[in-house]
Amino acid sequence: MSKETDAAVRNMLVQRGLKKGGLSQFIEEAVKWRLFDQTLIEARESFSELDQCVLQNIICEASQVEREEMQSTLPSKFRKPY
C-alpha cells in the first residue's frame, strides 16, 4: 500500500474513533468486498450470453430451493407457505 493511501486510511479511522485492531478490521472488510465484487463481475460475464428468460428461471428456481431449505430449519409457527 502506498504511503499516501496508508496515511489517508489511518487518518479517516482516527477521525471515526479508531479502536485497537481498527486498521486490520478495515482492511479485512475491504478485501471481502473486493472479492465479492470480483465474484459478481465473473458471474455476470459467465451469464452474459445466456437468454434473459432462461437466466430469470434459473434465479427463480434457485431462490425457491433456498427459501424451502431456510423454511425447513425454522420452527413450524414461523414457516410461510410458498
Looking up cell 431456510 gives: 70
End-to-end Cα, the chain, rounded Å: 49
Closest CA to 10 of 2, 72, 18, 36: 18
Closest CA to 23 of 1, 3, 6, 4: 6
Distance between CA atoms of residues 9 and 11, nearest Å: 5
Q: Would you give per-residue pLDDT tens digits along the chain (82 residues)?
A: 899 998 898 888 889 888 877 888 888 999 999 999 999 999 999 888 999 999 999 999 999 999 988 888 877 777 676 6
C-alpha dist (Å) from residue 82 to 25, 55, 66, 69, 70: 39, 21, 11, 12, 12
